[in-house]
Structure 1
Amino acid sequence: MTLHVVVMGVSGSGKSTVAEGIAQRLGWTFAEADQFHPQSNIDKMTAGIPLDDEDRAPWLRGLATWMARQAAKGEDTVIACSALKRSYRTMLQRDVAALDGPHRVVFVHAHGPFGVIADRMEGRRGHFMPESLLQSQFDTLEPLGADEGGFELDVRHPPDELVTEAVRRICS
């Protein structure tokens, strides 16, 4: 069985740091979902315009295709991906479930208060997502449901603790 971990959350939540840490500890293949965005999405976000479902659909399909390619090679994966809405997470689960062989998707929600994440974003450099879009991400965010196969991590804890907790829960 291949396992696909999606570390989700709003921009600035630390999902990339946590996802990379999980992938390194487990020796799994890592991907940063931002690298799958078409240029039109990046241009829109850079201009301070939130993405809508239509913008995100091809991006999510691209992520699912990537997971499918890795699964075909027998590789477990870890992706840092906002996956803000339940429908986005359902799409990823559905597309992975359609693969040949047994597969499982686990969602790890890097979650924290708006103020903590806004402070992080203020100090971040070199990312196309402006702090001005953070509220729209919080407005779009649908909390991880108990039936979605995942868990939350409180981003107020140090990254190393978050990675340790995530690996413990993924492997248990």
Structure 2
Amino acid sequence: MSVPPLVIMGVSGCGKTTVGQGLAERVPDSVFIDADDLHPAANVEKMRSGVPLTDVDRAPWLDAVGRAMREASAAGRTPIVACSALKRAYRLRILAEEPDAFFVLLDVDRAELERRMRERKHHYMPASLLDSQLATLERLAPDEPGTTVPIVGPGGEVVETVLARVVDAR
């Protein structure tokens, strides 16, 4: 099965990493990339301290995400990236580096997001930043390469739903 370079996106706690890793297990010749691993140390420290990132903070990180995707594609791999990509401008920045990127917004209701974030262990993103993430989120527009997937049910079902949506969109 062939899929484009994927960005599994949404606010913290929506399941980007879980879904991205599940997709990487199903898509041949894919590589999972957690965009959180590409943040500069200063960004991680700000978030750990409960300070929302600014667009200036995010710019070099988004460039690095797009470059990592492009490099994986150039190496013959299908990148599957877990990345918040909350604003259209952020997605455009990623597309500038990897023009074939396809975005999958994981849509989870607020109560479930809060529950998930309270239960997380060892993650630098505190639940207190959920409000700023929800306020920043710009849903995918009809002219953007992507799809929105409402999250209901267990993770395995979500992976199957995402795969079906991506294949149908091509």
TM-score normalized with structure 1 length? 0.92
Q: Could you tell me which residue of structure 2 aligns to residue 156 of structure 1? A: 152
In the other structure, the counterpart of 1:114 is 110
Matches within 5 A, 1:22-41: 22-27=23-28, 28-41=30-43
- Give how far 1:2 is off: 7.8
Secondary structure at 2:101's aligned position in 1? strand
Residues 57-79 of structure 1 deviation map (CA, whole Å, 9 limit, x = unaligned): 00011111111211211211100
Q: How many Å apart are 1:124 and its aligned residue?
A: 0.7
Q: Distance in 1 between matches of 2:66 and 2:91?
A: 10
Greater relative contact order (Cα < 8 A, sep 6+): 1
Match for residue 101 of structure 2? 105
TM score, norm. by length of structure 2 = 0.93
Matches within 5 A, 1:49-128: 49-97=51-99, 104-128=100-124
Task: Tell me the equivalent position of 1:18.
Answer: 19
- Is the 8 Å Cα contact of residues 66 and 96 (structure 2) preserved in structure 1? no
Contact 1:107/1:149, CA 8 A, preserved across alignment: yes
- Residues 18 and 162 of structure 1 are in contact (CA less than 8 Å); yes or no, is this contact kept in structure 2? yes
Counterpart amino acid of residue 90 in structure 1 = L
Q: Given that residues 46 and 52 in structure 2 are in contact (C-alpha distance below 8 angstroms), is that contact kept between their aligned partners in structure 1?
A: yes
Q: Structure 2: 5+ residue runs without aligned partners? A: none
> How many residues are paired up?
166
Provide the alpha-carbon RMSD of the alignment: 1.3
Unaligned 5+ segments in structure 1 are 98-103
Q: Secondary structure at the match of 2:104?
A: strand
How far apart are the structure 2 equivalents of 1:2 and 1:152? 16
Contact 2:8 2:103 in 1 (8 A): yes
My pick for the range that moved more, 2-11 or 51-60, is 2-11
Distance in 2, Cα, partners of 1:60 & 1:36: 9
Cα distance in 2 for partners of 1:120, 1:65 equals 30
**Offset of 1:155 from its aligned partner?**
2.0
**Post-superposition shift, 1:126?**
0.5
2:133 to 106, 116, 137: 137
Identity of aligned residues (%): 40
- Contact (CA 8 Å) 1:2, 1:74: kept in 2 or not? no
Q: Report SS of the residue matched to 2:51.
A: coil
1:101 counterpart residue number: none
